[in-house]
Amino acid sequence: MIDLKFLRDNPDVVRESQRTRGEDPALVDRLLDADARRRDAIAKADALRAEHKGFGKKIGAASKEERPALLEEAKAFSGRVKDAENEQRDAEAAVHDLQMQLGNIVAGAPAGGEDDYVVLEHVGEVPEFDFEPKDHLDLGEALGLIDMERGAKVSGSRFYFLTGAGAMLQLGMLNLAAQKAMQHGFQLMIPPVLVRPETMAGTGFLGAHADEIYHLEEDDLYLVGTSEVALAGYHADEIIDLSDGPVRYAGWSSCFRREAGSYGKDTRGILRVHQFDKVEMFSYCKPEDAEAEHQKLLDMERDMLSAVEVPYRIIDIAGGDLGSSAARKFDTEAWVPSQNTYRELTSTSNCTTFQARRLKTRYRDDNGGTQFCATLNGTLATTRWLVAILENNQRADGSVVVPEALRPFVGRDVLEPVAKPKNAPKSGAKKKG
């Protein structure tokens, strides 16, 4: 949530942020009005409490004859105090509700929606093949890496098995990401994948995109779509030490997304699935250090993408596609030969103090006072990367060259097509899901 003092002092900045996001700037005025009512309610309740407290002294000094009338008056006054406190609670709840609806203040992102990003940089050369390139699923099945059919049989559509060298390729990629993160001062974490509602709401994921999240109603727990959620909640209600610089974590976890509203989009293969694994970077820092930290996360993503040998571009995401918690977000998109276009592999977001205010995560400034931290996140590797790795490193005979950095983990330089096993699913077998 945003700082109410900043809102009062800079309403036009927040209105413009809303317009950049493609959202209603009138929400700013509704929040300002609610905040004014809240402050009036607080002042009224404080004044009545002080006056009521004075009645106690008055009763103590009163004569025996005066006391019964004063006690009756104090009782009536107590009711007025209670009414004022109820009014204060209602006013504060109204402000909180509106605050939770307002996205973070956009910082430097272009205006517009999903297609209004700005391309910042191209890295690597797009491969030119003298044959018709296969897509990642055809390659993965022929190489014995991916089994979508049995994934659908076991769990429904958009589930899969990574098999043999496919499993090793993913584990190698994630291990490489974990090693790089630790070399850069990130503490490796394996966090919970189920979180409480207050943690999910605190990170900003229970707003417009709540339908993307799996909810276990009986337990009132949510399956995370990114370990960012658990890592953001790790220091909730705490004062952390930032005197030596940012505190950095790298979370390795399985992630879950319902992909609501995406039916018919990217249903083939593992581009858009319900379960995947990911190494996610998460930083806590002082607000004045957030921009530099954002560039550090982006540079680490550059390094990792270069290590897995895929061409990519970096784009500056437009305000309407940011998500409520991000003030700015950079996506890295890898070239996907079978689609003749770039597709998102990673993102890194600067959430400024938005999440920390919700989760009450603070640090001590040089004067000993407490301030809200800035939080940032960025993906260092995820299952979707296999799409780009396989397609960009394929050869005419259907084999795939393993990127050099992953060979120690996979144990092979080249992945060769395998003979279809005797117990493979029969052609035309009915799929479930």
268 is known to lie in a ligand binding site = no
384 among known catalytic residues: yes
Q: Which of 324, 338, 347, 349 is an active site residue?
A: 347
**Paired strand residues for 250:** 188, 281
Q: Are 196 and 221 in contact (CB under 8 A)?
A: yes
Q: Which of 87, 344, 364, 416 is an active site residue?
A: 344
Q: Please state, in angstroms and rounded to a whole number, the distance separating the CA atoms of residues 126 and 345.
A: 16
345 is known to lie in a ligand binding site = yes
344 among known catalytic residues: yes
Q: Which of 272, 343, 407, 412 is an active site residue?
A: 272
Are β-strands 221-223 and 194-195 bridged in parallel, bridged antiparallel, or unpaired? antiparallel
Tokens at 297, concatenated = 């996360």
Q: Are 235 and 114 in contact (CB under 8 A)?
A: no
257 is known to lie in a ligand binding site = yes
- From the list 29, 67, 129, the residue with the least C-alpha distance to 340 is 129
Tokens at 51, concatenated = 């006056």
80 among known catalytic residues: no
412 among known catalytic residues: no
346 is known to lie in a ligand binding site = yes
Backbone dihedral angles phi then psi of residue 422, each to the nearest 5 degrees: -60, -30
Helix (H, G, I), strand (E, B) or coil at 360: coil
1: DSSP letter: -
352 is known to lie in a ligand binding site = no
Q: Please state, in angstroms and rounded to a whole number, the distance separating the CA atoms of residues 273 and 257.
A: 7
- From the list 302, 287, 335, 320, the residue with the least C-alpha distance to 113 is 320
347 is known to lie in a ligand binding site = yes
163 is known to lie in a ligand binding site = no
343 is known to lie in a ligand binding site = no
Provide the residue type at 293 as one letter: E
- From the list 196, 354, 381, 198, the residue with the least C-alpha distance to 281 is 381
Angle between helices 290-307 and 165-183 (to 10 degrees): 140
- From the list 308, 331, 314, the residue with the least C-alpha distance to 391 is 308
Helix (H, G, I), strand (E, B) or coil at 25: coil
280 is known to lie in a ligand binding site = yes
DSSP letters of 45-68? HHHHHHHHHHHHHHHHHS-TTTHH
Q: Which of 21, 38, 248, 257 is an active site residue?
A: 257
Tokens at 345, concatenated = 């592999």
Provide the residue type at 98 as one letter: L
17 is known to lie in a ligand binding site = no
49 among known catalytic residues: no
Name the binding residues for ATP.
257-259, 273, 344-347
Binding residues for L-serine: 226-228, 280, 379
Binding site feature residues = 226-228, 257-259, 273, 280, 344-347, 379
Active site residues: 257, 272, 344, 347, 384
